[in-house]
Amino acid sequence: MNQQALPLFEIFIRSKRGLDHRHVGSLHAEDCEQALEYARDVYLRRSEGVSIWVVCSSDITASQESDVASFYDPMDDKPYRHATHYKLPKEVDNM
Amino acid sequence: MTENTAQTDLQLDNFEEKVANDQRIEPKDWMPDAFRKTVLRQMSQHAHSEVIGMQPEGNWITRAPTLYRKVVLLAKIQDEGGHGLYLYSAAETLGCSREEMVQALHDGKAKYASIFNYPSLTWADIGMIGWLVDGAAIVNQVSLQRTSYGPYSRAMIRICKEESFHQRQGYEATMVLARGSAEQKAMAQDALNRWWWPSLMMFGPHDSDSAHSGQSMKWKLKRESNDVLRQRFVDQTVPQAEFIGLKIPDKNLKWNEERGQYDFGTINWDEFMQVVSGNGPCNRQRLQHHIQAQQDGQWVRDAMHAYELKRQTREVA
């Protein structure tokens, strides 16, 4: 018997046409095709979606919040990127 | 009837039913070729507009009047570059590569919004671009959030969210000028005089003369007509101009009590056609600059690719 763990797949579901696929969880499977079938069984038993993406977890490169402060730092000191930063008189504020 | 055409009829019914029920069409769905072509043309035009639109604003980065205005302008231009990326990616879902789209732009086969063929002559123009050009773009883009092609609609939602600061910073910058010295106010008025009519042209020809409008409305790629959107822009912008004491350069502009909307003068469509067909003040310059930037950046892409190859060889070894 093959004792090697099956590869892990990340599952994304599009709940409705027009919406983005969203991550819903992960599962083990032999390959993409099988992962797709498992995902249908696990995540779509109650019409939760119209489309599934499966991605091998090892193909995902992820950043870590703690990785590099400079990756995220600059966001906080640039309030001018937000519409609310610009104070307009109330007569024209519905812009 | 052959089996093939029966199949296509069924697919077409299915497609039309989705559109009729306000469902979005997604990349892997069957769609008529003409739909694919139209949405691709529209997304490519829109993407190119975001990117070319960085040029008239980029012209003022080094000459922004204060450090504050400079960082705001940089942040805004950075957004526009990102918006180009969202739209190119949306277009790529239909199997057209970025390289093909850029090549079509360089060959003059793909268009971009003709407003960016006007020069940004003074600092006040930067305010006008935010207030009027982005303002007009937002009116159009808010409507396009409900466009029938899924990836395009999602790109529009993201873009609208980010774009809201663009118009406000433009209006605020204009307000400062309009309330400043006589010279500053005159500069703002001069910029308004030059940007008003091209902004109205951004919505495209009148509904009765618009080549692609009818079919696009039927497919719900366009949700509202050129004239409806243009009117909305005029109605929202005129009070904003009045509030800061600037005068819209249109002697026929008048509130129409009966319609509850502004009447406005005739747009110079000859000028529009001239600019669209390549004879605006900056058409050649804009395209040349884009080609130059593409060429100047080639060594960076080459270097990154060479590094990647080297890295892969090391991994194998």
Can you tell me which residue has the tokens 């249109």?
A: B250
User: Between vectors from CA B52 to CA B120 and to CA B222, what angle results, nearest 5°?
Assistant: 110
What φ, ψ does residue A18 adopt, rounded to 5°?
95, -20
Task: Kindly state the average pLDDT of the residues B28-47.
Answer: 96
CA dist B159 and B80 (Å) reads: 9
* Partner residue opposite A18 with nearest CB, options B68, B79, B153: B153
pLDDT at residue A66 tops 90: no
pLDDT recorded at residue A3: 63
CB contact under 8 A, B168 and A17: no
Its CATH architecture, for the domain A1-60, is Roll (3.10)
- Domain residues of chain A, as ranges? 1-60
Q: Is B266 exposed, middle or buried (0-12, 13-18, 19+ CB in 10 A)?
A: exposed
Distance from CA of B295 to the nearest CA of A (A): 29
Say yes or no to pLDDT of B1 above 60: no
Residue that wins the pLDDT comparison between B241 and A46: B241
ipTM reported for the complex surpasses 0.85? no
Q: Rounded to an integer, what is the distance from CA B215 to the centroid of its chain?
A: 20
B227 touches chain A (CB under 8 A): no
Q: Beta-carbon neighbour count of residue A89 at 10 Å?
A: 9
Instruction: For B76-109, write each residue's pLDDT tens digit.
Output: 999 999 999 999 999 999 999 999 999 999 999 9
Residue A51 confidence (pLDDT): 95
Cα–Cα dist B34/B218, whole Å: 12
Pairing assessment for the beta strands B261-263 and B254-256 based on DSSP bridges: antiparallel
Return the structure tokens found at B10. 């069924």
Q: Give yes or no for A95 touching B (CB within 8 A).
A: yes
DSSP letters spanning B104-156: HHHTT-S---GGGGS---SHHHHHHIIIIIIHHHHHHHHHHTT-SBHHHHHHH
In angstroms, the first-to-last Cα distance of chain B is 60
Q: Which residues are registered as beta bridge partners of A13? A: A22, A52
In chain B, which residues have their Cβ closer than 8 Å to the Cβ of A89? 243
Does B167 touch chain A if contact means CB atoms closer than 8 Å?
yes
Are B165 and A82 a contacting pair at CB < 8 A?
yes
Supply the pLDDT for residue B152.
97
> Residue B149's closest chain A neighbor by CA?
A18
More confident residue, A58 or A76: A58
Q: Is B66 left (phi over 0), alpha (psi -120 to 50) or beta?
A: beta
Query: What is the pLDDT at residue A72?
Result: 67
The region of weakest confidence among B29-33, B224-228, B260-264, B313-317 is B313-317
Give the Cα separation of B42 and B6 in Å (integer).
30
User: Do B246 and B178 meet the contact criterion of CB atoms below 8 Å apart?
Assistant: yes
Residues from chain B contacting residue A82 (CB–CB below 8 Å): 165
CA of B277 vs chain A CAs: smallest distance (Å): 33
* End-to-end C-alpha distance for chain A, whole angstroms: 66
Look at residue B237 in the predicted model and tell me its pLDDT: 97
| Chain CA centroid to CA A21, Å | 7
Q: How many alpha carbons fall within 13 Å on the CB side of residue B108?
A: 8
CB contacts under 8 A, B 55-94 vs A, are 68, 71-72, 75, 79
Token code pair at residue A66: 């703690």
B3: helix, strand or coil: helix
DSSP collapsed to 3 states, chain A: CCCCCCCEEEEEEECCCCCCCEEEEEEECCCHHHHHHHHHHHHCCCCCCCEEEEEEHHHCCCCCCCCCHHHHHHHCCCHHHCHHHCCCCHHHCCC
Mutation site, A51, A86, A88, interface B, largest B CB count within 10 A: A86
The residue of chain B nearest to residue A82, with distances taken between CA atoms, is: B165
Q: Is A45 at the interface with chain B, CB within 8 A?
A: no
In terms of Cα–Cα distance, which of B139, B116, B132 is closest to B249?
A: B132
* Average pLDDT value for residue range A26-38: 96
pLDDT of residue B7: 78
List, for residues B191-205, the tens digit of each pLDDT value.
999 999 999 999 999
Mean pLDDT of all residues belonging to chain B: 95
Q: How far apart are CA B289 and CA B294, in angstroms?
A: 9
The residues with which B194 forms a beta bridge, in sequence order, are none
- Of B63, B33, B79, B196, whose CA–CA distance to B123 is shortest? B63
The encoded tokens of residue B169 equal 């910073």
Q: Which of B18, B71, B150 sits opposite A80 (nearest CB)?
A: B71
Cα torsion A92, B155, B137, B291: sign = positive
Q: Stretch B122-143: mean pLDDT, rounded?
A: 97
